[in-house]
Amino acid sequence: MHQRDISEGAKNNYNRFLLLVAGLGGLLYGVDVGIIAGALPYLNDTSGFNANQLSFIVAAVLLGSVISTLFAGMLADFFGRKRMMIASGVLFVISIPTIALAHGYWPLVFGRLLQGISAGLIGVVIPLYLAECLDAKNRGKGTGIFQWLLTFGIFAATMIGLYFSHRVDEVSKLGDADRLFAFKEVAWRGIFWVSLPPGILFVLGSFMVAESPRWLFRRKKIDAARDALLRSRSNEQAEIELKEMQETVAAENAKTAAGQIKESLLRRKYVIPFLLACVILACNQLTGVNSIIGYNTTILIQAGLSDLNAHFANSLFTLINFLVTIAGVLLVDRKGRKFLLSLGSAGIILSLLIAGFLFRDVESNRGDMREDIQRLVSTNQALSFKFDIKTQGEMTDDTAPSTLVIIYSYGDFHSATAAVRSDDATAKPIEITRDNCLPPNKVAAFFSNPFADLNSARTAPLKIEHAFITPIPDAANGWLTAICLFAFMSFFAVGPGVCVWLALSELMPMRIRSNGMSIALLINQAVSTTIAAIFLPTVGKYGYSTMFFIFAGCTVIYFITAAFFLPETKGKTLEEIEEHFEGKKS
């Protein structure tokens, strides 16, 4: 049966299948990001690798992602969206046995690099493919499902790690050291093996979906483009979109025939959407989302929660991210991108401001014991001591329960200890060493802090920047702060979390879409890296309250961009959006 004769039910089924395949791509992206956290403790216990080697195994994904993001748009233009989807899935599938069967350092690094390359390709190609394949009424839902399953991938990776941690705990109770060592070896390899089936399903699904009709049209494969459209649209809608593609290409060809060898990329139809996408992606990071996720437990302990409650609240935090993303998926094609981004950024501002004021009250009572802690540094430029009520009393003459956080540096590289409560009898001693602070090589150093000098840091002394002892607020203050962070995550998930991929793929015209998306994602990663470099020094010197206020101020730019400059793209074809930026009426 010819494509043109496909029934309405078959088209709906194909649309669902396409969303499932793209969603699996998001799942792989989330697994790439989150899987190492659960495996790392057991890899550390069984591999014999030093801290530098372990940190590079973790960072290899970021390196691979940056490399592939840089070239993903160009490759998608040359080989096609579908082929690059297949390639990204195949790289992920190959990476799993490469890691899980590895015996030695370099196979592990290579496998993690493959995972990073896969993630970078997925982050560009899947939103690009969805934008060009789905019709206007389903485009938001499709990209939202990608983000939803991305958050599910992170959550699933956490649950996989939690399952194996319980198994390890059961084996440890048997008191057999050799058996425990062997099971930890099985555990970290098993964590990676569990993530293989979604990768295989994604590859198989990618073979079964059609190529992007807009990519086919640009390659002058008109019949193939029509058939690709007819798999998911009515004959009438397919012909309308084909006509719009023809008009767009004809306009470009007319300019070329008139003597313009290449239409200038400085025209408003290219510059304005590109700048909007870049601002939105940069502001997505400037909300502080990665830092708040990364330091969430420490933040909550500082705010007044016990270690147990802080970890429980952190689990709720990740679950809220996953669940509220579902609401974003359901709303994005009903309420529109502009509304959700405006609502989300406004809610983020309010949440951060309240959290900032709560922390300002807490941090106004903190004391800096920097000089006392500096005297404890050993001659080999390391530090190890137990922080308890007795130690606290020797430093401050105060035995009321407090938290201690040490901000320290070796040269240009800064780090911080986890927050430790003096009333926590089970807390481990604070350990600071050079290996735990410095990246293993210049590549990893660049992504940790692009402005730092690694060579000088390798011989620099341990400097205690700050050692903040803060009276522990009551638990009510901690839960208020937790509620603010839950609200922050909810507003982020329903707005920026879902809509950022749409902004990336919908706004840019066809001619610059793939390469423009690569550049915008690189800007996103650069902003993320810069925030990671300045976060701890800023918190150390000025406190979490100041950092929250800075993030809120940056999110104001996000809100203004979304509310006043971003056009509503709900229900519009990509060609209609392109005409909007050219100043034409659809």
The HSE-up count of residue 82 (CA atoms within 13 Å, CB side) is: 16
Q: Model confidence at 3, in pLDDT bands (50, 70, 90)?
A: very low
Q: What is the mean pLDDT of the segment spanning 332-342?
A: 87
Report the relative pairing of strands 383-385 and 430-432 from DSSP bridges: antiparallel
Q: Poorest-confidence range of 133-137, 491-495, 542-546, 559-563? A: 133-137
CB atoms within 10 A of CB 53: 16
* CATH architecture of structural domain 1-243: Up-down Bundle (1.20)
The pLDDT, as a whole number, for residue 2 is: 47
The angle at the Cα of 427, spanning 420 to 372, to the nearest 5 degrees, equals 50
DSSP codes of every residue in 107-131: HHHHHHHHHHHHHHHHHHHHHHHHH
Q: Are the beta carbons of 479 and 488 closer than 8 angstroms?
A: no
The amino acid sitting at 281 is L
**Residues of each domain in the chain carrying CATH 1.20.1250.20:** 1-243
C-alpha 66/C-alpha 406 separation (Å) is: 31
CB neighbours of 1 closer than 8 A, spacing ≥ 6?
none
The amino acid sitting at 304 is G
- pLDDT reading at 442 higher than 80: no
The amino acid sitting at 213 is P
Q: What is the pLDDT of residues 189-204, one digit of tens each?
A: 998 998 899 999 999 9
The amino acid sitting at 372 is D
| Token reading at 365 | 């009572």
DSSP H helix total and E strand total for the chain: 24, 7
Considering the chain, what is the average pLDDT of its residues? 84
Q: Which one is predicted more confidently, 395 or 376? A: 376
Q: What is the pLDDT of residues 210-239, one digit of tens each?
A: 999 989 998 889 999 999 888 888 888 888
Q: Model confidence at 584, in pLDDT bands (50, 70, 90)?
A: low
